[in-house]
Structure 1
Amino acid sequence: MASRADNIASNMSLANFSKATELKKRIWFTIGALIVFRFLSFVPLPGVNPLILGSLYDSARGGILDLFNTFSGGSLERMSLIALGVMPYITASIVIQLAASLHPALAALKKEGATGRQKLNQYTRYGTVFLTAVQGWFLASGLESFGAASGMQAVVDPGIMFRIGAVISLIGGTMFLLWLGEQITSRGIGNGVSLIIMAGIVAQFPTFTANLFEGGRSGSISPVIIIGFIVMVVILILFICFMERAQRRLLIQYPKRASARGMMQADRSHLPLKLNTAGVIPPIFASSLLLLPLTISQFAGNSIDPSTTMGGFINSLNFYLQHGQPIYMTLYAAGIIFFCFFYTAVVFNPEETAENLKKNGGFIPGIRPGKRTADYLDYVLTRVTVVGAIYLTLVCVIPEYMIAQTGIPLFLGGTSLLIVVNVTVDTISQIQSHLLAHQYGDLIKKAKLKGRLR
């Protein structure tokens, strides 16, 4: 039976895709939801002139705005209903998870299972609404004064009513994206929020490619830089795929048990510890934490006189925290490293794993079950996470520093590339799991049919 299952797994291919009707429905639903997301990115906020806004944005390109625009799929550039994307939700998730680790009442909720998680998700949504309202207010205020120096006005009718309408529209857009992501997760394929972020990044690819080769044709970008950039992207993709599949396998030994032939036989298995347990969460969390104050300061700076103390402080903040600046790179790398360890501690509990092994009679050879096993798992996991944190930091920071130095428009930086590759690999793995489950279902049905015929 085991060899037959192995043959099914090895022979699994997309040739069986046509028979998996449930999988096809899930894929079509995911594609349809992402198309809705792309349509929404072209619906502008009420009271905004898209043509004037586009020309103003072109004159203010660079820095943190381009990163935010990339994650939102160009929605910020067009100031659409979903201009803030899902970043407020991610920031709220960070706050709630940190609070759940520090506050006893929230920590108790976390241990209550499905009911506690539902309550924490509710708090996260409340936090998302609050953060969207704060960011939306500063965004609307900045829009009213955006381009005032050039004599152009992006807002048709500035005032308190425009700000209130913009905040309500942005809250509705962000919450709809959150609902859409949940629908993709439950009725589609893959993690909905991650797929929405990836779709926003991939949507910028045709524009980026055209601008890159146009720069090479006009001579503004050296052909050597273009070739080097392409080679760097290919190497990064291969490196990311290798590191994401890398794992430290711990041998688990089980006591000897009587086999079917009456012989005593010991069972062995492995406990895999991924090199990057946190996945794409650390760079996304670090980016969102930097984007929250920088977006507010960038748009608030348009309405504050730069000659004042506050105006000078905001301009200095926006300058020193641009891409390629040492302070930005240092904060970004520190955020990635912190969230690598934090999220790994959230998703993997050495004490719980050691207790489960002890209950099932399993042990690590040479390590006493119980606390010693938990300490050993924590020891190994910490060192594995160090390597994973260094890998994520190098992949995310070094390419974006090179992009900032060469002047290539920010798109396929390390963070964007890591998200695209990771989400793609995860989605393909889920598709393969559905195909494998479908083939096992067919095998069970055939076995039952043969049993009835006999």
Structure 2
Amino acid sequence: MKKLFTTLSNIWKIEDLRVRITNTLLFLLIYRVGSYIVLPGVNAASLHAGQNKEGLVGLLNMFAGGSFSRSSIFALGVMPYISASIVLQLLGIAVPHFIKLQKEGESGRNKLNQYTRYLTIVITAAQAIGYLKSQVSADAMLISNPAFTVLNVFVLTAGTLFVMWLGEKITDKGIGNGISLIIMTGIIAELPSAFVVEFQSRTNGAGGLITFIVEIVALLGVVMFTILIVQGTRKIAVQYAKRIVGNKQYGGVRQYIPLKVNAAGVMPIIFAQALMFIPATIAQFFPNAAANGILISLSNYNSWEHNVVFAILIILFTYFYTAITVNPTQMSDDMKKNGGFIPGVKPGKTTADYIDAVISKITLPGSVFLAIVAIIPALASLVGVSSLFARFFGGTSLIILVGVVLDTLQQVESHLLMRHYDGLMKTGRVKGRSAIPTAAGETPPVI
């Protein structure tokens, strides 16, 4: 406890760190206040009466911190921006124009930032129309159509752009990655209500207090397991050639290339979830089809068919995303230019093949572990955990929480060590995620 108070005191003594943490909290407070401002022309009482927080709606509502179900001006949150960043990142792999922009340094990044913002506006406008039609019933509208739709498409688009601006300000003036912190804040905001609901259901006879304590212990175990996945690395030793210039020696040291066990982060789960929404969509268009039973089973996240297909897709997407984001040939070329080599391995193509083989070996357990974490919420629901609380047992939400917290703590510790204070831990150091840059030049949440 004394160590904790000493660390907090050291953080408060550093003016730059104190200002950054204060700015971050103020920006997040603005976001949380805005999440309770209802769209113009919406009757909040009529809206909440028929809200559904299950399935996809519940997942989106959790990422938006409850704004989605409240029909807030921030209902769409930063998800359109994340979608635009992913699209630009994929275009940067396949389209020559975007590949060229990625290699142009600062000017290229500025262009990609502009494209990302423009695409965010388009995606937000399209999603706003779908949101108003599907989530706001006619009896909750105080303004007649089409004025209601036109007005609130502009409001929702402006809300998403404002949240995106808040995220950029947190990154510049605060601590940590702004977009990631906004998503994490939305997820954490749903945790107290889920905790209370589960506690009440258990203490009122469905298992008792002992079962609830077992659930909490299991949740802590899953969190520790997720931390192992996020932090796991395979180090490859690299020796640099020794050069003597005058009386000084350069190089001649051994360093390591840390290859992440889960280099793809949360992206495979996001891609797999997007594909798993397709059966539900097809079932709505063809309700009398002979294969409708299979489609319904694939749409039910508690069914074994859904979870088996979901796990297989995650494993495949983990290999795919790792292959397009980690380039062994480029790593080998950079190493060769700087006079480095892997002991016992010839420079050039042999080194690239060696790195590729290591990545392939560590990606298999990483993808399997990621698939297990992704289906744990469904397993928790099958053993009686409420669906609201089960979402925190794994999946996208837990990986985002663990990754963002570790990344933010690592930045705080860097500020402490830079000013010759002790770190956050007595032994060892907090290691943040090595996030994959998006097309916009930022680190994704998830991502």
What code does the residue aligned with 2:168 have? Answer: E
Cα distance in 2, alignment partners of residues 170 and 198 from structure 1: 21
CA-to-partner distance for each residue in 1:260-290, whole Å, 9 max, x for gaps?
A: 9999995222221121223334434544x36
Q: Is residue 204 of structure 2 the alignment partner of residue 218 of structure 1? A: yes
Give the equivalent residue in structure 2 for 1:432. 413
The aligned residue for residue 349 of structure 1 is 327
Against the structure 1 CA distance between its residues 265 and 133, is the aligned structure 2 distance closer, same or farther, given a 3 Å change threshold?
Answer: closer
Where in structure 2 are there 5+ consecutive unaligned residues? 1-5, 422-447
Q: Residue 404 of structure 2 aligns with which residue?
A: 423
The offset of 1:428, in angstroms, is: 0.2
1:45-67, Cα deviation, whole Å (9 max, x unpaired):
1111111111111xx33221111
1:170 aligns with 2:156: yes
**Cα 1:325/1:97, change in 2 over 3 Å:** farther
Instruction: Tell me the CA shift for residue 347 of structure 1.
Output: 4.5
One-letter amino acid matched to 1:117: R
Distance 1:334 1:134, change over 3 A: farther
The residue that corresponds to 1:208 in the other structure is 194
Question: Could you tell me which residue of structure 1 aligns to residue 350 of structure 2?
Answer: 372
**Counterparts of 1:203 and 1:136, CA distance in 2:** 23
CA contact under 8 A between 2:301 and 2:378: conserved in structure 1? yes
**CA separation of 1:319 and 1:154: change in aligned 2, threshold 3 A:** farther
Rounded to whole Å, the distance in 2 between the matches of 1:90 and 1:291 is: 19
**How does the TM-score come out when normalised to structure 1?**
0.81
Letter in 2 for 1:382: S
User: After the TM superposition, which residues 236-275 of structure 1 pair with which residues of structure 2 at under 5 Å, given as runs?
Assistant: 236-256=222-242, 266-275=252-261
1:210 partner SS: helix
Q: Which residue of 1 aligns with 2:116?
A: 124
- Identify if the C-alpha distance between structure 1 residues 318 and 174 changes in structure 2 by more than 3 Å, giving closer, same or farther: farther
Following the alignment from structure 1 to structure 2, what is the Cα–Cα distance between the partners of residues 285 and 178? 22
Which one has the bigger helix percentage? Answer: 1
- 2:336–2:347: 8 Å Cα contact kept in structure 1? yes
Shift of 1:323: 2.5
The corresponding residue for 2:394 is: 414
* Contact 1:181–1:192 (8 Å) recurs in 2: yes
The answer (yes or no) to whether the contact 1:323–1:404 under 8 Å persists in 2 is no
After TM superposition, list the pairs within 5 Å mapping 1:230-379 onto structure 2: 230-256=216-242, 266-284=252-270, 286-287=272-273, 289=274, 320-326=298-304, 328-330=306-308, 332-334=310-312, 336-345=314-323, 347-379=325-357
> 1:139 deviation in Å?
1.5
After superposition, what is the alpha-carbon deviation per residue over 1:209-265, rounded to whole angstroms, capped at 9, x for unaligned?
111111112224555643332122111111122232221111112335569999999
Distance 2:322 2:172 in 1: 24
Query: In the alignment, is the contact (CA less than 8 A) between 2:60 and 2:68 conserved in 1?
Result: yes
For the pair 1:29 / 2:23, whether they are aligned, the reply is yes
Q: Secondary structure at the match of 1:252?
A: strand
Q: Deviations over 1:175-200 (max 9, x none)?
A: 11111111111221111111111100
Matched AA of 1:379: A
Q: Secondary structure at the match of 1:204?
A: helix
Residues 99-137 of structure 1 show CA distances to partners (whole Å, capped at 9, x for unaligned) of 221122222222222222222222222222222111211
Could you say which residue in structure 2 is the equivalent of 1:78?
70
Whole-angstrom distance in 2 between the partners of 1:158 and 1:22: 51
TM-score, length-normalised on structure 2?
Answer: 0.82
SS at match of 1:412: helix
Q: Percentage identity across aligned positions?
A: 39
Q: Which position in structure 2 is the counterpart of 1:135?
A: 127
- Pick aligned residue for 2:359 from 375, 378, 381: 381
Amino acid at match of 1:24: R
| Gap regions ≥5 residues in structure 1 | 1-11, 147-152, 441-454
Structure 1 equivalent of residue 175 of structure 2: 189
Aligned AA for 2:117?
R
Quote the residue 2:45 is aligned against.
Answer: 51
Given residue 91 of structure 1, which amino acid in structure 2 is its aligned partner?
A: S
Letter in 2 for 1:364: I
Candidates 60, 66, 72, aligned match of 1:68: 60
Alpha-carbon distance in 2 for matches of 1:143, 1:262: 69
Alpha-carbon distance in 1 for matches of 2:221, 2:298: 30
Could you tell me how far 1:35 is from its partner in structure 2? 0.7
Q: Is the 8 A contact 2:34 2:74 kept in 1?
A: yes
Q: Which of 1 and 2 has greater Rg? A: 1
CA distance in 1, matches of 2:321, 2:238: 25
Aligned alpha-carbon RMSD (Å): 3.1
